[in-house]
Structure 1
């Protein structure tokens, strides 16, 4: 079988870098959710072994394979029991924000390494390609997870910011929201129309902001 004929979301020459970057990004994202929930008093994720940086605890095999093949996938969702929180709304928002912000933080911390690798001419060793992929994927995940559609973190944040009455109404239509989510991401024309501009402008904008900031020091 000619494996090069398979349609991948990443070119074959970039696949090793993409695999490492995705595993790292998913692990950091889910660990952040679990860690913040644990710090706010919810032991659920901790008891299930999710407060760890071991990728095995967080990766969903099917979701991981799908993101390589189709560009969309998922990790194992972190279980959260809001009844342990003293302030469920505040804790809920912070737990939901922790995942996307951890991805942005990882991109932020990797950027000076990218600039240094470029200055020292380490591109031929693949270091620049790897760091660039880590930064790009983490920026994309930061934006992607803040989209206000279930089951993404952006939707969970809105749930905790609105009134109980609005929250109850949202829960009635949540199942349809997931269907809309799948339609948008699995139908190329909808994906390009609704999400294309979002990633086309925001990802480069965040990348340029990081470049501008770190270039002041390096």
Structure 2
């Protein structure tokens, strides 16, 4: 391979995928539709906005892992397509992309996906390994902070905003409700992903600091960590405790919980 060919290949490895551009286009168009009041019912627009925003955050989450791994020493990342923000390049599209979206639609839970394949043997230093695992959840934290700050500060509020809720007009902005609801998913994804459970990023942060014996004893349970967390969340008491924690985080940004309730109501447009 010539030098010019190598440079061209390197640029292609980092070129943003058309798939990601389409997701951004859907996010921007649906956000404009909800903000401008286009259409009789904002519900479908809120649904598209939240789903496309969630997909974008999943792509950025995995990009955070990949980019940190690249700077940590795994130079194979680019060739795998992880820097293109194309979700179809992930090692398991079903677990990384499809199931997290399905869980959002079914249960309103921002379940984290997995994963990009990182050649850990190329990376030296326990701190670098921990930072690679932490990069993904930190993207969700940043995403949540931006969205919830915008809602809490009332950036998209107007005295004329009204939401039709079962025949009553409520003084809330549909776009703020959508932003708050999407922000709630980011909070839940960050909290879940930071759990020190095998298979999740929280354990990935902790793992480099464990003894080889401890890592070997935990390794067989890694494929089942996410399933165990999901099963626990279906238990009413655990679910209630978890969402109380999520709501406590959104409260820190001054977000009226009414926005979360209305965001969920509008998102499930098929129920009304």
Equivalenced residue count is 196
Alignment CA distance shift 1:27-1:66 (3 Å): same
> TM-score, normalised to structure 1's length?
0.74
Contact 1:117 1:123 in 2 (8 A): no
Residue in structure 1 matched with residue 155 of structure 2 by the alignment: 117
Q: CA deviation at 1:66?
A: 2.2
Contact 2:134 2:201 in 1 (8 A): yes
How many angstroms apart in 2 are the aligned matches of 1:32 and 1:82?
A: 16
Alignment pair present for 1:102 and 2:139:
yes
How many angstroms apart in 1 are the aligned matches of 2:102 and 2:197?
A: 20
Which residue of 92, 99, 104 corresponds with 2:129? 92
Residue in structure 1 matched with residue 165 of structure 2 by the alignment: none
1:1-218 aligned at under 5 Å gives the runs 14-55=46-87, 57=89, 60=94, 62-67=98-103, 68-71=105-108, 75=113, 77-87=115-125, 89-114=126-151, 115-121=153-159, 123=161, 126-175=174-223, 177=225, 180-181=228-229, 183-185=231-233, 188-189=234-235, 192-200=236-244, 202-211=245-254
Alignment CA distance shift 1:123-1:40 (3 Å): farther
How many angstroms apart in 2 are the aligned matches of 1:76 and 1:198?
A: 21
Residue in structure 2 matched with residue 215 of structure 1 by the alignment: none
CA RMSD of aligned residues (A): 3.0
Residue in structure 2 matched with residue 6 of structure 1 by the alignment: none
How many angstroms apart in 1 are the aligned matches of 2:237 and 2:66?
A: 34
- Specify every segment of 5 or more residues in structure 1 that has no aligned partner in the other structure, as ranges: 1-10, 213-218
* Larger deviation, residues 44-53 vs 60-69: 60-69
> TM-score, normalised to structure 2's length?
0.61
Residue in structure 1 matched with residue 262 of structure 2 by the alignment: none
Q: CA deviation at 1:55?
A: 5.0
Q: CA deviation at 1:19?
A: 0.8
Alignment CA distance shift 1:195-1:155 (3 Å): farther
Alignment CA distance shift 1:12-1:150 (3 Å): farther
Alignment CA distance shift 1:46-1:136 (3 Å): same
Deviations 1:31-81 (A, max 9, x none): 111111111111233211112344554564532552223446554511111
Contact 1:33 1:96 in 2 (8 A): yes
Alignment CA distance shift 1:62-1:172 (3 Å): closer
